[in-house]
Amino acid sequence: MAELRYNPLLDDWTMVASNRQKRPDMPKGSCPFCPGSGKVPDDYDVYLYPNDFPVLSENPPEPDDVGGGVYETRKAYGRCEVVLYSKEHTATLPDLSRPHMNRLMDLWTETYDRLRQQPKVEYVMIFENRGREVGVTMPHPHGQVYAYPFVPKKVRTEIASCQAHYEKTERNLFADMLYEEQVFKQRIVAETAHFLAFIPFFTDYPFGVYVVAKDNVCHLTDMEESVRYELGVLLQDIVGGMDLIYDRSFPYMMVMHPAPVNEEDAQSYYRFHIEFYPPLRGEQAIKFNASSETGGWAAANPTKVEDNAAILKDCIKRFQVTKGGEG
Protein backbone atom coordinates (compact mmCIF):
# COMPACT_ATOMS: atom_id res chain seq x y z
CA MET A 1 0.00 0.00 0.00
CA ALA A 2 1.29 3.46 -0.95
CA GLU A 3 -0.85 6.58 -0.93
CA LEU A 4 -1.16 10.16 0.31
CA ARG A 5 -3.55 10.96 3.14
CA TYR A 6 -4.69 14.52 3.79
CA ASN A 7 -4.40 16.00 7.28
CA PRO A 8 -7.17 18.65 7.44
CA LEU A 9 -5.91 20.03 10.77
CA LEU A 10 -2.53 21.00 9.31
CA ASP A 11 -3.45 21.34 5.62
CA ASP A 12 -0.74 18.82 4.83
CA TRP A 13 -0.22 15.38 3.33
CA THR A 14 1.06 12.22 5.02
CA MET A 15 2.85 9.72 2.80
CA VAL A 16 1.77 6.18 3.68
CA ALA A 17 3.95 3.30 2.45
CA SER A 18 3.63 0.02 4.31
CA ASN A 19 6.24 -1.61 2.03
CA ARG A 20 8.97 0.39 3.77
CA GLN A 21 8.66 -1.91 6.79
CA LYS A 22 10.56 -4.47 4.69
CA ARG A 23 13.73 -2.36 4.49
CA PRO A 24 16.86 -4.22 5.66
CA ASP A 25 18.33 -3.02 8.95
CA MET A 26 22.09 -2.57 8.85
CA PRO A 27 22.89 -5.77 6.89
CA LYS A 28 25.94 -7.60 8.20
CA GLY A 29 28.43 -9.22 5.84
CA SER A 30 26.92 -7.89 2.63
CA CYS A 31 25.88 -4.54 1.20
CA PRO A 32 23.79 -3.98 -1.94
CA PHE A 33 25.61 -0.70 -2.59
CA CYS A 34 29.11 -2.23 -2.65
CA PRO A 35 30.68 -3.46 -5.92
CA GLY A 36 30.15 -7.17 -6.37
CA SER A 37 26.61 -7.14 -5.00
CA GLY A 38 25.09 -7.41 -8.47
CA LYS A 39 22.94 -4.33 -7.82
CA VAL A 40 25.53 -1.67 -8.64
CA PRO A 41 28.40 -1.45 -11.18
CA ASP A 42 31.61 -3.26 -10.31
CA ASP A 43 33.35 0.11 -10.32
CA TYR A 44 31.89 3.58 -9.79
CA ASP A 45 32.61 6.86 -8.05
CA VAL A 46 29.08 8.26 -7.63
CA TYR A 47 25.97 6.43 -8.72
CA LEU A 48 22.21 7.01 -8.93
CA TYR A 49 20.23 4.05 -7.61
CA PRO A 50 16.42 3.68 -7.68
CA ASN A 51 15.00 3.37 -4.19
CA ASP A 52 14.00 -0.25 -3.52
CA PHE A 53 11.31 0.84 -1.05
CA PRO A 54 9.91 4.10 -2.45
CA VAL A 55 7.18 6.03 -0.72
CA LEU A 56 6.48 7.82 -4.06
CA SER A 57 6.51 6.33 -7.56
CA GLU A 58 5.78 7.25 -11.18
CA ASN A 59 3.06 4.59 -11.45
CA PRO A 60 1.45 4.54 -8.00
CA PRO A 61 -1.45 2.21 -7.14
CA GLU A 62 -4.95 3.44 -6.46
CA PRO A 63 -5.39 4.52 -2.82
CA ASP A 64 -7.21 2.17 -0.47
CA ASP A 65 -10.91 2.85 -0.13
CA VAL A 66 -10.69 4.03 3.46
CA GLY A 67 -11.21 7.81 3.13
CA GLY A 68 -14.26 10.02 2.82
CA GLY A 69 -15.48 13.47 3.75
CA VAL A 70 -12.58 15.52 5.10
CA TYR A 71 -10.36 12.44 4.82
CA GLU A 72 -9.05 12.83 1.29
CA THR A 73 -6.62 10.44 -0.39
CA ARG A 74 -4.41 10.84 -3.44
CA LYS A 75 -2.10 8.64 -5.44
CA ALA A 76 1.49 8.73 -4.13
CA TYR A 77 2.92 10.07 -7.38
CA GLY A 78 6.56 11.13 -7.49
CA ARG A 79 10.02 9.69 -7.45
CA CYS A 80 12.50 8.48 -4.83
CA GLU A 81 16.16 8.19 -5.85
CA VAL A 82 19.22 7.10 -3.88
CA VAL A 83 22.53 8.87 -4.53
CA LEU A 84 25.56 6.73 -3.67
CA TYR A 85 28.52 8.89 -2.69
CA SER A 86 31.27 6.32 -3.19
CA LYS A 87 31.96 2.63 -3.79
CA GLU A 88 33.90 2.65 -0.50
CA HIS A 89 31.61 1.29 2.21
CA THR A 90 32.87 3.53 5.01
CA ALA A 91 33.62 6.75 3.09
CA THR A 92 31.54 9.80 4.00
CA LEU A 93 31.40 13.34 2.61
CA PRO A 94 34.62 14.54 4.30
CA ASP A 95 36.54 11.51 3.00
CA LEU A 96 35.90 12.28 -0.68
CA SER A 97 38.59 14.00 -2.72
CA ARG A 98 37.67 17.46 -3.96
CA PRO A 99 37.25 16.21 -7.60
CA HIS A 100 35.09 13.35 -6.29
CA MET A 101 32.93 15.84 -4.40
CA ASN A 102 32.56 17.84 -7.62
CA ARG A 103 31.15 14.76 -9.34
CA LEU A 104 28.68 14.31 -6.49
CA MET A 105 27.56 17.92 -6.89
CA ASP A 106 27.07 17.27 -10.62
CA LEU A 107 24.96 14.17 -9.94
CA TRP A 108 22.83 15.99 -7.37
CA THR A 109 22.25 18.85 -9.82
CA GLU A 110 21.49 16.61 -12.82
CA THR A 111 19.03 14.55 -10.77
CA TYR A 112 17.38 17.65 -9.35
CA ASP A 113 17.00 19.21 -12.80
CA ARG A 114 15.51 16.04 -14.30
CA LEU A 115 13.00 15.47 -11.50
CA ARG A 116 11.78 19.07 -11.30
CA GLN A 117 10.69 18.79 -14.94
CA GLN A 118 8.50 15.73 -14.36
CA PRO A 119 4.74 16.28 -14.65
CA LYS A 120 2.82 16.57 -11.36
CA VAL A 121 6.03 17.25 -9.38
CA GLU A 122 5.78 20.36 -7.19
CA TYR A 123 8.91 20.04 -5.05
CA VAL A 124 12.28 18.26 -5.22
CA MET A 125 14.28 17.75 -2.04
CA ILE A 126 17.86 16.48 -1.75
CA PHE A 127 18.71 15.15 1.69
CA GLU A 128 20.97 12.88 3.70
CA ASN A 129 20.43 10.91 6.90
CA ARG A 130 23.67 10.01 8.65
CA GLY A 131 23.99 7.71 11.66
CA ARG A 132 21.90 5.17 13.53
CA GLU A 133 20.76 8.02 15.82
CA VAL A 134 18.56 9.36 13.00
CA GLY A 135 17.28 5.96 11.88
CA VAL A 136 19.73 5.05 9.11
CA THR A 137 19.22 1.42 8.05
CA MET A 138 21.96 1.28 5.39
CA PRO A 139 25.44 2.45 6.49
CA HIS A 140 26.96 2.73 2.99
CA PRO A 141 27.43 6.48 2.29
CA HIS A 142 24.41 7.80 0.44
CA GLY A 143 21.78 10.48 0.28
CA GLN A 144 18.34 10.63 -1.29
CA VAL A 145 16.27 12.77 -3.64
CA TYR A 146 12.48 12.92 -3.36
CA ALA A 147 10.20 14.45 -5.98
CA TYR A 148 6.90 15.30 -4.26
CA PRO A 149 3.47 15.98 -5.80
CA PHE A 150 3.00 18.67 -3.15
CA VAL A 151 5.11 21.28 -1.37
CA PRO A 152 6.03 20.03 2.14
CA LYS A 153 4.53 21.96 5.04
CA LYS A 154 7.81 23.33 6.39
CA VAL A 155 8.80 24.75 3.00
CA ARG A 156 5.34 26.29 2.56
CA THR A 157 5.70 27.92 5.97
CA GLU A 158 9.12 29.34 5.01
CA ILE A 159 7.73 30.61 1.71
CA ALA A 160 4.78 32.31 3.42
CA SER A 161 7.05 34.00 5.99
CA CYS A 162 9.43 35.18 3.27
CA GLN A 163 6.57 36.53 1.16
CA ALA A 164 5.09 38.38 4.14
CA HIS A 165 8.50 39.90 4.95
CA TYR A 166 8.96 40.99 1.34
CA GLU A 167 5.51 42.56 1.18
CA LYS A 168 6.23 44.47 4.38
CA THR A 169 9.82 45.58 3.70
CA GLU A 170 10.51 44.88 -0.01
CA ARG A 171 13.56 42.96 1.21
CA ASN A 172 14.58 39.32 1.01
CA LEU A 173 14.29 37.72 4.46
CA PHE A 174 17.40 35.58 3.90
CA ALA A 175 19.40 38.68 2.97
CA ASP A 176 18.33 40.27 6.24
CA MET A 177 19.25 37.13 8.18
CA LEU A 178 22.71 37.12 6.60
CA TYR A 179 23.13 40.78 7.46
CA GLU A 180 22.34 40.15 11.14
CA GLU A 181 24.70 37.16 11.30
CA GLN A 182 27.53 39.06 9.59
CA VAL A 183 27.11 42.01 11.95
CA PHE A 184 27.08 39.79 15.05
CA LYS A 185 29.78 37.42 13.68
CA GLN A 186 29.80 35.01 16.65
CA ARG A 187 27.39 32.48 15.11
CA ILE A 188 29.25 32.19 11.78
CA VAL A 189 31.17 28.92 11.43
CA ALA A 190 32.48 29.25 7.85
CA GLU A 191 32.24 31.60 4.88
CA THR A 192 33.06 31.44 1.18
CA ALA A 193 32.62 33.86 -1.68
CA HIS A 194 29.02 32.76 -2.34
CA PHE A 195 27.82 31.12 0.89
CA LEU A 196 27.58 31.80 4.60
CA ALA A 197 27.45 28.93 7.10
CA PHE A 198 26.19 29.73 10.58
CA ILE A 199 24.24 28.32 13.49
CA PRO A 200 21.16 30.56 13.43
CA PHE A 201 20.08 32.78 16.28
CA PHE A 202 16.85 30.75 16.53
CA THR A 203 17.95 27.15 15.95
CA ASP A 204 16.57 24.40 18.18
CA TYR A 205 19.40 21.95 17.36
CA PRO A 206 22.67 22.56 19.25
CA PHE A 207 24.77 22.33 16.06
CA GLY A 208 21.96 23.07 13.59
CA VAL A 209 24.00 24.75 10.86
CA TYR A 210 22.38 26.68 8.01
CA VAL A 211 24.21 27.24 4.73
CA VAL A 212 22.65 30.15 2.84
CA ALA A 213 23.48 31.45 -0.62
CA LYS A 214 24.62 35.07 -0.67
CA ASP A 215 23.15 35.57 -4.15
CA ASN A 216 19.48 35.52 -5.07
CA VAL A 217 19.43 31.92 -6.29
CA CYS A 218 16.65 29.43 -5.61
CA HIS A 219 17.87 26.22 -7.24
CA LEU A 220 21.14 24.33 -7.75
CA THR A 221 20.58 24.90 -11.45
CA ASP A 222 20.69 28.68 -10.89
CA MET A 223 24.35 28.41 -9.84
CA GLU A 224 27.42 28.43 -12.04
CA GLU A 225 29.37 25.17 -11.96
CA SER A 226 32.21 26.75 -9.98
CA VAL A 227 29.72 28.01 -7.36
CA ARG A 228 28.22 24.53 -6.95
CA TYR A 229 31.72 23.09 -6.50
CA GLU A 230 32.41 25.76 -3.88
CA LEU A 231 29.27 24.62 -2.06
CA GLY A 232 30.48 21.02 -2.16
CA VAL A 233 33.78 21.94 -0.53
CA LEU A 234 31.93 23.90 2.15
CA LEU A 235 29.71 20.91 2.94
CA GLN A 236 32.77 18.70 3.32
CA ASP A 237 34.35 21.24 5.66
CA ILE A 238 31.22 21.50 7.80
CA VAL A 239 30.73 17.75 8.18
CA GLY A 240 34.47 17.22 8.67
CA GLY A 241 34.39 19.82 11.42
CA MET A 242 31.38 18.17 13.05
CA ASP A 243 33.27 14.87 13.17
CA LEU A 244 36.00 16.55 15.20
CA ILE A 245 33.65 17.92 17.87
CA TYR A 246 33.55 14.59 19.72
CA ASP A 247 36.09 12.71 17.56
CA ARG A 248 33.36 10.47 16.18
CA SER A 249 31.14 10.22 13.14
CA PHE A 250 28.62 12.98 13.80
CA PRO A 251 25.00 11.98 13.07
CA TYR A 252 22.78 14.46 11.27
CA MET A 253 19.93 15.07 8.90
CA MET A 254 20.87 17.44 6.07
CA VAL A 255 18.22 18.92 3.80
CA MET A 256 18.56 21.21 0.79
CA HIS A 257 15.76 23.78 0.53
CA PRO A 258 15.27 25.08 -3.01
CA ALA A 259 12.17 27.00 -4.02
CA PRO A 260 9.11 25.05 -5.17
CA VAL A 261 9.15 24.03 -8.83
CA ASN A 262 6.37 26.42 -9.85
CA GLU A 263 7.38 29.49 -7.83
CA GLU A 264 8.49 31.56 -10.82
CA ASP A 265 9.16 34.81 -8.92
CA ALA A 266 10.71 33.24 -5.80
CA GLN A 267 14.14 34.87 -6.25
CA SER A 268 12.81 38.17 -4.97
CA TYR A 269 11.74 36.78 -1.58
CA TYR A 270 13.23 33.25 -1.13
CA ARG A 271 16.72 31.77 -1.38
CA PHE A 272 18.39 28.35 -1.72
CA HIS A 273 19.74 27.13 1.58
CA ILE A 274 20.71 23.94 3.42
CA GLU A 275 19.63 23.03 6.93
CA PHE A 276 21.40 20.55 9.23
CA TYR A 277 19.58 18.85 12.08
CA PRO A 278 22.21 17.02 14.19
CA PRO A 279 20.61 15.28 17.19
CA LEU A 280 23.60 15.28 19.58
CA ARG A 281 23.56 17.63 22.57
CA GLY A 282 26.63 15.91 24.06
CA GLU A 283 29.12 13.23 23.11
CA GLN A 284 26.64 10.47 23.96
CA ALA A 285 23.52 12.51 24.70
CA ILE A 286 20.66 12.79 22.20
CA LYS A 287 18.37 15.79 21.93
CA PHE A 288 14.95 14.16 21.75
CA ASN A 289 11.85 16.08 20.76
CA ALA A 290 9.55 15.46 23.71
CA SER A 291 5.87 16.36 24.24
CA SER A 292 6.07 20.15 24.06
CA GLU A 293 8.22 20.09 20.92
CA THR A 294 6.36 17.31 19.14
CA GLY A 295 2.83 18.10 20.29
CA GLY A 296 3.06 21.87 20.12
CA TRP A 297 5.98 22.47 17.75
CA ALA A 298 7.34 24.58 20.59
CA ALA A 299 11.07 24.43 19.76
CA ALA A 300 13.61 24.33 22.59
CA ASN A 301 17.41 24.37 22.52
CA PRO A 302 19.19 22.97 25.60
CA THR A 303 22.49 24.72 24.74
CA LYS A 304 23.78 28.19 23.88
CA VAL A 305 24.10 28.78 20.14
CA GLU A 306 27.07 31.12 20.37
CA ASP A 307 29.13 28.63 22.40
CA ASN A 308 28.39 25.85 19.92
CA ALA A 309 29.29 28.05 16.96
CA ALA A 310 32.73 28.78 18.44
CA ILE A 311 33.36 25.06 18.96
CA LEU A 312 32.32 24.11 15.42
CA LYS A 313 34.19 27.01 13.82
CA ASP A 314 37.42 25.86 15.46
CA CYS A 315 36.80 22.24 14.39
CA ILE A 316 36.15 23.31 10.79
CA LYS A 317 39.45 25.17 10.72
CA ARG A 318 41.24 22.08 12.04
CA PHE A 319 39.60 19.91 9.39
CA GLN A 320 40.54 22.35 6.61
CA VAL A 321 44.19 22.13 7.65
CA THR A 322 44.02 18.33 7.51
CA LYS A 323 42.17 18.26 4.19
CA GLY A 324 44.53 20.80 2.69
CA GLY A 325 47.44 18.57 3.62
CA GLU A 326 46.17 15.75 1.41
CA GLY A 327 47.88 17.36 -1.53
pLDDT tens digits for range 289-314: 889 999 999 999 999 999 999 999 99
Q: What average pLDDT does this structure show over 141-154?
A: 97
Residue-wise pLDDT for 194-244, tens only, equals: 999 999 999 999 999 999 999 999 999 999 999 999 999 999 999 999 999
pLDDT class of 285 with cuts at 50, 70, 90: confident
Residue-wise pLDDT for 245-270, tens only, equals: 999 999 999 999 999 999 989 999 99
Q: Which residues contact 25 (CB under 8 A, 6 or more apart)?
A: 137
pLDDT class of 1 with cuts at 50, 70, 90: low
Q: What is the mean pLDDT of the chain?
A: 94
Q: Which of 140, 142, 165, 257 is catalytic?
A: 142
**pTM of the complete model:** 0.95
Whether the Cβ atoms of residue 73 and residue 6 lie closer than 8 Å to each other: yes
Residue 142 designated active-site: yes
Q: What average pLDDT does this structure show over 117-139?
A: 94
Which pLDDT does position 138 carry in this prediction? 87
How much of the chain, in percent, has pLDDT values that exceed 70? Answer: 95
Tell me the DSSP string of 255-322: EEE---TT-TTGGGT---EEEEE--BSSSS-B----HHHHHH-----SS-HHHHHHHHHHHHHHHHHH
Which pLDDT does position 327 carry in this prediction? 47
Q: Which domains does the chain have, with CATH numbers?
A: 2-17+31-324 (3.30.428.10)
Name the burial class of residue 322, with classes exposed (0-12), middle (13-18) and buried (19+) by CB atoms within 10 angstroms of its CB.
exposed
Q: How many Å apart are CA 133 and CA 12, to the nearest integer? A: 26
Which pLDDT does position 91 carry in this prediction? 95
CB atoms within 10 A of CB 214: 17
